[in-house]
Structure 1
Amino acid sequence: MPTISSFDWEKGAWAAEQTTSDTGKEVIKISIAGDWAPIRMFKEIMETSPESVYGDLLPILRSTDLSIANLESPLSDRGAPVFKSGAVFKGEQRHIKALKAVPFDVVTLANNHVFDYGLDAFEDTLDVLNRNHVQWTGAGMSIKEAAAPLVINVKDTKIAIVNFSEGEDLTFAGKGPGVMGWDLSKVEDTIKALQSKVDFIIVISHCGIEYIPFPPPYVARAFQKMVRAGADIVIGHHPHVPQGIQFYKNTPIIYSLGNFAFYQPTDLYYRKLGYLVNLGINKDALVSLELVPYKIHDLGLSCVKGAELKPFRDKFKEISLPLQDDKHLEVAWDGFLHFYGIEGFFNEISMIMEKIKTEPQKGAAMFRNRLTTRQHYHHWKDFLTHIVEGKLDSSPEWSRRLIKEWLTRKTDDHKNTG
């Protein structure tokens, strides 16, 4: 069973010990990727040269029996942008060819962008996925559809994918369409009900604070609940940067894969890094886990290789070790609250207030999201509580150092690679 002590940090991998009873059992290979969207620099490439965007990751993705990515935008030729807190994204229906180029078998839809162009564009997205035989989960025309797990039979092994998110900007499904939101009890019940029906349960969640190396405690607690409910692996994305791995009750929890085929116009180093999770499973259990890191360039992706690989592995270990106990995880979060500081809070509030004056609907959406989404609620609540209790400066040096590195290191800065 996977544990922190049996994970090979130099290889970024774990493999179960083979026994005589394992002989002859077929291993199913699964690849799980992070955020995918035909936007910005990748918009034209995904239309004109869809295979090239994946670079030397393409043969790795094609070598698996099941491939999964997070579709971080609608695919539609119509619709209008909604008023929301953050950026709005949209690909066109023709960009489906870039999903089919791998081909990805499944996309998760529980995220904060799939409703960026309204209901018509969302319906178009489901239509183009269905017509091209790409299965999906995590959103729908009702809460029943959004909450439904996807069960796939691969080589006579039943695999379930359970997908949920924070339902940012009030996009969670209720009486109408939406994503599967932060209803942890419902997700737990779904996992428990699946245990007697499937062989392997993958939980994928889109959540957390962007751009930092550690998950907030509320995310860690939620992911641990999923393990206790019966998940065989839990994987997160949304932070747009790599975060570490935890082994909880002999079950891997991966907090953020970082960006995948998702371009951000920045020179910040960690927003240009991500990793695939490659799994090997059989009917009985997880038998292997490998993390495949890659870089994101203007023209696509490329595997991290050679002299760059060891620094990545070392840094990944450094951000993973504090996740193995709750106390270190809490003080890692404290490091972010310290870095954010009173000035950061003041600047954020001022920016929103100014936006309300100049663009009332946009500004109101930004403020509403701060009040209604878990990540912002926990961020501000914990930050203000630390001030009240005089604890804002109580975080250890290592957490502040790593937070600063993740938020400020540039792509041409080689001073902090070891």
Structure 2
Amino acid sequence: MILHKSFSPLIPNILLASLGLLLAGCSVLAQPNFAPTGRLNNTVEPPAVVELSATPFQPLPTATATPTPTSIQVWLPEWIPTGIASAVQLPAPFVFAKSADPADIHLEIRENIASDDADFSWVYALVAPFPTITDGISVDELQQIWSGTGDFSQQILLDESTLAVFSRVWGEPNLSKIRVANRDDLLEIAWSEKFTWAILPFEEIAPRWKVIRIGGLSPFDRGLDLSAYPLTVKFSWQGQTSTGQATVSDLRNAGIASTNRDESKLTRVLLTGVTALVRSTAERMETMGIDYPIGDVLPWLLDADFTHISNEVSFNDQCPPAIPVRLGTRFCSDPKYVELLEQIDVEIVELTGNHLVDYGREALSKTLEMYRDRDILTYGGGANLNAALQPLVIEHNGNRIAFLGCNRAGPPSDWATEDLPGSAPCDLELMASQIQNLLEEGILPIVTFQHYELDDTMPSRQAQQEMQKMAGAGAVIVSGSQAHFPHGFAFIGDSFVHYGLGNLFFDQMYTFNRREFLDRHIFYNGRYLGAEILTAELEDFARPRPMTDNERTRMLTTYFEVSGWQINDQD
């Protein structure tokens, strides 16, 4: 680079100033007045002295240093939630104060402001151990437990920070109902003591907790209005000095994360049991309309970001007419029934079912084409063995989730081959390796099985062992898709195992076959938070409906007990 010199106007100014110094304070003699030529002037006038006024010296201007801005002190009380404290990264000139006085700005709870005006909307959850029957309470009931004024068996655990927060919101609690414990101990204490629940920040929800609704609302709900949810606490920066009041808006605009529950980081996956649009179910669809089976559970099916269906039967142009009773178990579905899947907005179809090739592999190939044409994703089976064994990976709201599935029960004629379509045979060593690879890439694996069927509340010992093995390998969810008779649960660490969900759309009207589980799984910010267990009862050979409260209590009691769990809210 060539640097061009430039002369400063300062140099001429210096020369002028120097000349001024020489003139300042001096007297100058005037020139003599000579007579004109030819005349002698004998009188000589003394020279006149002319006084020149001196110009005062003007010093050159000097550069003025810009003062360093004074630090602005910001105070976070010691009881502020850990999530807020870790989220606050102060930009200059803001710095953390060591004490409240004389900090310029404080962070305070401000319940009397709108959520949109809050600097932080921090969401908490009321939780209970997973084997809890109660699904929800009112906000008044919760506050009565807090104050000790109601007749409730529950006690509530919380850590020191949460106690301090809600003491400021609801007043001091009744300490016979409210217990303080270390945050890391809350879950184990609650699981070991009946009628023991907890309040904790949303980001601390874990799979072995059940989230209790308050006033019908849950932090797991899609589109939750945080201002209406009773366990949203609002915090705001408040200027305490003139400096703080003048600069608090700059702090509010500093881009600090404002909530621990951001809807754009939430993903909800609904897993369902057996679908087979055949026999009496198909007959009802023919007489009552293709959408007849979905009417009562449609809101559940549409609510998920990803709705999963294990459709065990292929579509076939030559499928015989639907009749209620058919000898044997050779199944197919009329291609027009795919409209039912479209109406419930199915995103994912599992292909581990053992009736996929009942009418030949060409029917399965045509079915795969129908799914592709409708942008329906598939896994657990495919156009050949390699395709059938591949995980399905989805990404939504920053959550990366994989689906893997296999058919343990066979028959071998249903399995995919090197060149032919079919279901994926189970290779548990391969699956365990895939699970590890997915976890290393930050992808959370879900594994589903088409295992051996057993008409009992728990599956075969082999099924339990193999499902637990995949949970031990790192699958966050393991689910049985084979069960026409629903099965119980297990946790392997924080991995959730549901051995069998039962039917979804299939015509078995026997007492236990009518019972159905639909599991809504919640993912947030790259973590699996847990499941909401929905329960339904099949009506009219085709149409499941949500259970009544009494039916649900009986069903959950049965399956919590066979899972070997103490029910938290029953004597």
Per the TM superposition, whether the score is higher than 0.5 is yes
User: Does the CA-based 8 Å contact 2:454-2:460 persist in structure 1?
Assistant: no
Of 378, 382, 385, the residue aligned with 1:140 is 382
The corresponding residue for 2:306 is 66
Please give the TM-score of this superposition, normalised by the length of structure 2.
0.52
TM-superposed CA distance for 1:154, in Å, is: 1.5
Aligned residue identity for 2:271: I
Alignment of 1:269 onto 2:511: yes
**CA offsets per residue over residues 83-133 of structure 1, 9 Å max, x none?**
xx9611100211110111111110100121111111111111101111111
Alignment of 1:7 onto 2:249: no
Tell me the matched-pair count: 313
Aligned residue identity for 1:248: I
Alignment of 1:33 onto 2:272: yes
Tell me, which stretches of 5 or more residues in structure 2 are unaligned?
1-127, 137-186, 188-197, 205-258, 321-326, 567-571
Higher share in helix: 1
User: Does the CA-based 8 Å contact 1:12-1:290 persist in structure 2?
Assistant: no
Match of 2:317, SS? Answer: coil
State the distance in 1 between where 2:453 and 2:274 align.
15
TM-superposed CA distance for 1:217, in Å, is: 1.6
Please give the TM-score of this superposition, normalised by the length of structure 1.
0.70
The corresponding residue for 1:49 is 289
Greater shift in the superposed pair: 228-237 or 45-54: 45-54
State the distance in 2 between where 1:306 and 1:272 align.
16
Distance 1:20 1:31, change over 3 A: closer
The corresponding residue for 1:23 is 260
Distance 1:42 1:20, change over 3 A: closer
User: Does the CA-based 8 Å contact 1:140-1:173 persist in structure 2?
Assistant: yes
TM-superposed CA distance for 1:19, in Å, is: 5.0
State the distance in 2 between where 1:292 and 1:100 align.
22
The corresponding residue for 1:225 is 469
TM alignment of 1:187-266, pairs within 5 A:
187-264=431-508, 266=509
TM-superposed CA distance for 1:11, in Å, is: 3.9
TM-superposed CA distance for 1:309, in Å, is: 2.0
Match of 2:338, SS? Answer: helix
State the distance in 1 between where 2:386 and 2:131 align.
41
Aligned residue identity for 1:232: V
The corresponding residue for 2:402 is 160
Of 176, 179, 184, the residue aligned with 2:419 is 176
Higher share in strand: 2
User: Does the CA-based 8 Å contact 1:32-1:67 persist in structure 2?
Assistant: yes
The corresponding residue for 2:393 is 151
The corresponding residue for 1:127 is 369
Percent identity, please: 23
State the distance in 1 between where 2:292 and 2:544 align.
8
TM-superposed CA distance for 1:12, in Å, is: 6.9
TM-superposed CA distance for 1:20, in Å, is: 6.5
State the distance in 1 between where 2:199 and 2:393 align.
25
Tell me, which stretches of 5 or more residues in structure 1 are unaligned?
324-418
TM-superposed CA distance for 1:27, in Å, is: 1.9
TM-superposed CA distance for 1:322, in Å, is: 7.0
State the distance in 1 between where 2:377 and 2:365 align.
14
TM-superposed CA distance for 1:176, in Å, is: 3.4
Aligned residue identity for 2:415: F
User: Does the CA-based 8 Å contact 1:46-1:97 persist in structure 2?
Assistant: no
State the distance in 2 between where 1:301 and 1:198 align.
36
**CA offsets per residue over residues 127-182 of structure 1, 9 Å max, x none?**
11111111111112221101011111222321111111115121222333221112
User: Does the CA-based 8 Å contact 2:296-2:543 persist in structure 1?
Assistant: no
State the distance in 2 between where 1:245 and 1:254 align.
5
Aligned residue identity for 1:272: R
TM-superposed CA distance for 1:78, in Å, is: 3.6
Match of 2:468, SS? Answer: helix
Greater shift in the superposed pair: 237-246 or 306-315: 306-315
User: Does the CA-based 8 Å contact 1:51-1:102 persist in structure 2?
Assistant: no
Greater shift in the superposed pair: 254-263 or 213-222: 213-222
Work out which of the two has the higher radius of gyration on C-alpha atoms and give 1 or 2. 2
State the distance in 1 between where 2:274 and 2:517 align.
11
Q: Which has the higher contact order (CA 8 A, sep 6+)?
A: 1
State the distance in 2 between where 1:320 and 1:182 align.
25
